[in-house]
Structure 1
Amino acid sequence: MAGSLGWGNRLRYLVKRARAIDTANLRRLAGLIAASSGRPRLFITLDMLWAAVRHETAFQDYFDWDFHTLTSRERRTFITHPKSNHLALRLNAVEHRSTFANKALFNVRFAPYLGREWIDVRTANDDELSAFLARHSRVIAKVADSLGGDGIEAFTSADVSEVAAFRAARIANRQVLLEEFLTQHPEMSRLNDSSVNTLRIVTYLDDAGTVHTLARVLKMGNGGDVDNFSDGGMYTMLDADGVAHYAAFDGAGGVYTVHPRSGTSIVGFAVPQWDAVQALVEKLAREVPDIRYVGWDVAITPSGAAVIEGNYNTGVFQLKPSATGVREGLLPVYRAAIGF
């Protein structure tokens, strides 16, 4: 992709951001940073606003990646959420985004790679739903167009006494997608058994049809039904062999070298069936070639890798400098692959 992200995009983003600025969140995050760093809150607040202008840094980005400790040169190495959004809008064709934005459409399109049974309660009758629940002891209900794990809820099938009432409640809550609860690989369960702990693999498909892996992320739950960072989960980065070398961190700034629930070491953890993960992602990235920039959520089951969903406007993941000592982000990796 020739050229750059462009000042036009940046200006439009800044105008939109100024109109929708979350002052409460700005004050909250600035207060947390000021308290932990000893720096004046006003200084942190002004620097957060400057970073938003100069580096297109979201407030949560500033907090997560310790921007208050970084030099301007170091800050320029980080891919931020606004920059990632520019890439998604430029690289992913509008007419194909709905396939990824709607989980029901995604499940239809990527059926061979799901590794699980699912049902749409809007179209299934009560007998079909009853049979589905009889086949699966635990199920996951999802809002088809939700983001960040919102609306996801786990149910034990034996607790469903009235199928019609259960179906009506799911529709009322917009949880129209019902999926078999995946059994994760024992090694992944050893990290945290409350949720399926997944991988986020961010890929870019270039003009020659080569798949570039931009980021490899190990996500873990921490007692909840999901492993999402925005819902109490944590993450760390993986190397090209699927091994974690650094501590994980969560959205509140907590840092973990071992998982707080299981006591399993995160540092040194090797993802099982890594070759299967890479083979799956190669196939996924080529399935819809007009969607070139995707963050894939992949689960590891005892029988192999399975895709959970694809995010055409993927979140951004990088190491936390204060937890790892690594003060460089992944923007150089993105630029080398994409060419902006």
Structure 2
Amino acid sequence: MPDQGFALAPRLRYLVGRARRIDVGSVFERAREASRDHGKWTPLVVVDMLWQAGFRNVGFQDYIDYDFSILNRAERATYMTHPVSNQISQKYDHPDYRHIFQDKVEFDGVFSEHLHRDWMVVTADNADDVRAFAERLGTIVTKEPVGQAGTGVHRYHAAEVEDWAQFHRGLWERGELLIEEVIAQHPDLAAVCPGTVNTTRVTAFFDGQRTHILAMAQKFGRGAVSDQMTFGGFYTMLDEAGRAVGPGYDSHGHVHETHPDSGFRIADFQLPLMDDVRAFVDRVARVVPQVQYVGWDIVVTADGPVLVEGNWGAGVYENKPSVTGIRTGHKPRYQAAIGF
């Protein structure tokens, strides 16, 4: 079992950094949102938000996303938050190995056998190779090596390219250096949104012997190249069996009982091949054991799970009480596995 607790100095540095970056206007905007949604007095919400941020490690967006204004102290204590997640990352993700997860090209190289799809790298002089790769696959996805929240991800159809030299030059100049085959997702995922490859975020901790799955969130897109919220996507939390615990939601106040495009009832979703998912996450967690706390993005296909990427700064996906009716979060599972 890992050492108990987190070092005080990194936590203090984090809090000082947050205090310096605080956007007072944003705090009031979020407080008004909570006031509107839950009938709370705005000044009281502001004070509570600041107290929770300063003394309970609760981010301002955490406070809104997880409906803290309607939860009591005991219920709030069950929620994982971004400041705590950051502390775990800083302690258990070795800085000498984080670069593997930050650079998508390097990541694909290290985790190649777990991708289960073709990929290549754009260089200054391989326009013919790019053309051959794209024409063979028909549709390709390109990625900038460093990006987050779906930024720097693009989708192209070979049939629409008229000038391959110009296309290649554009990729090179824009820094879209990684090209990948499009993943063919499982029919159960395609039934919800066929136009986007819908990823499952599995947050896990590898203790050196065992891989602990801490939380699972199923993300759904809206037909764009990415299922991230910046592309209109949303998510629902999954239970240990891979079943949705309620409707979908995002950080912008949108709730989806059904998928807006397909009409699929989100609460009816069941992630297929859960036994395979557990085994797969255990395998990938052992590839770089020095990075113990990772948010793995996977896609379940008809042949089993495939890896999209790993996030050493795992972030947090949690239950939203006003949507699901469930007033507890996943923090006890984190504490049991990590020991803080």
Separation of aligned partners in 2, 1:318 and 1:247: 13
Correspondence for 1:224:
224
TM-score, normalization by structure 2? 0.95
**Counterpart of 1:232 in structure 2: which amino acid?**
G
Distance 1:74 1:17, change over 3 A: same
Structure 1 unaligned spans of 5+? none
TM-score calculated relative to the size of structure 1: 0.95
Query: Residue 77 of structure 2 corresponds to which residue in structure 1?
Result: 76
Match of 1:287 in 2: 287
Deviations 1:204-228 (A, max 9, x none): 1113x11111111111113432112
The residue identity in structure 2 corresponding to 1:36 is D
Partner of 2:27: 26
Cα separation, 1, equivalents of 2:12 and 2:141: 41
CA deviation digits over 1:7-35, x for unaligned, max 9? Answer: 43332211100111233432332222222
> Does structure 1 conserve the Cα–Cα contact (< 8 Å) formed by 2:235 and 2:248?
yes
Q: 1:332 aligned to 2:332?
A: yes
SS at match of 1:128: helix
1:292 and 1:230 map into 2 onto residues whose CA distance is: 28
Q: Give 1:1-340 correspondences, 5 Å limit.
A: 1-122=2-123, 125-207=126-208, 209-340=209-340
Distance 2:328 2:27 in 1: 24
Note the alpha carbon deviations across 1:61-87, whole angstroms, 9 max, x for none: 111100111112221211111110110
Q: By how many angstroms is 1:6 displaced?
A: 4.5
Specify the SS of the correspondent of 2:96. helix
Q: 1:224 to 1:46 in 2, by over 3 A?
A: farther
Which has the larger displacement, 119-128 or 197-206? 119-128
Could you tell me the percent identity over the aligned residues? 37
> 1-side partners of 2:125 and 2:70: how far apart?
54
Structure 1 runs of 4+ off > 6 angstroms? none
Q: Per-residue deviation at 1:230?
A: 4.6
| Separation (CA, whole Å) in 2 of partners of 1:24 and 1:162 | 48
The verdict on how the C-alpha distance between 1:231 and 1:11 changes in structure 2, with shifts beyond 3 A counting, is farther
Deviations 1:282-307 (Å, cap 9, x if unpaired)? 11011111111111100122222100
Task: Give, in whole Å, the separation in 2 of the partners of 1:15 and 1:130.
Answer: 50
Would the aligned equivalents of 2:38 and 2:70 in 1 still touch at CA under 8 Å?
Answer: no
Q: CA RMSD in A?
A: 1.6
In structure 1, distance between residues paired with 2:125 and 2:278: 34
Is contact 1:192–1:262 with CA below 8 Å preserved after alignment?
yes
My pick for the range that moved more, 212-221 or 68-77, is: 68-77
Q: Distance in 1 between matches of 2:54 and 2:8?
A: 11
Q: Secondary structure at the match of 1:2?
A: coil
Which stretch shows the higher mean deviation, 83-92 or 134-143? 134-143
Whichever residue aligns with residue 98 of structure 1, its letter is: H
Secondary structure (helix, strand or coil) at the match of 1:261 reads coil
1:270 partner amino acid:
Q
User: Is the partner of 1:202 in helix, strand or coil?
Assistant: strand
Aligned amino acid, residue 310 of structure 1: G
Uncovered stretches (5+) of structure 2, i.e. residues with no partner: none
Moved more, 40-49 or 322-331: 40-49
Aligned AA (1:285)? A
- For residues 129-167 of structure 1, the C-alpha deviation after alignment (integer angstroms, 9 at most, x for no partner) is 010111111111111110111121111121111222112
What amino acid is aligned across from residue 328 of structure 2 in structure 1? E
For residues 236-289 of structure 1, give each alpha carbon's deviation from its aligned partner in whole angstroms, at most 9, with x where no partner exists. Answer: 111222111312211212222221211112112111222222221111011111
CA distance in 2, matches of 1:280, 1:121: 29
Structure 1 residues 158, 22: CA separation in 2 closer, same or farther (over 3 Å shift)?
farther
The number of aligned residues is 339
Q: Measure, in 2, the Cα distance between the counterparts of 1:169 and 1:333.
A: 46
Contact 2:142–2:176 (8 Å) recurs in 1: yes
Q: Give secondary structure in 1 for the equivalent of 2:286.
A: helix
Q: SS of the residue aligned with 2:266?
A: coil
Equivalent position SS for 1:318 = coil
Contact 1:148 1:231 in 2 (8 A): no
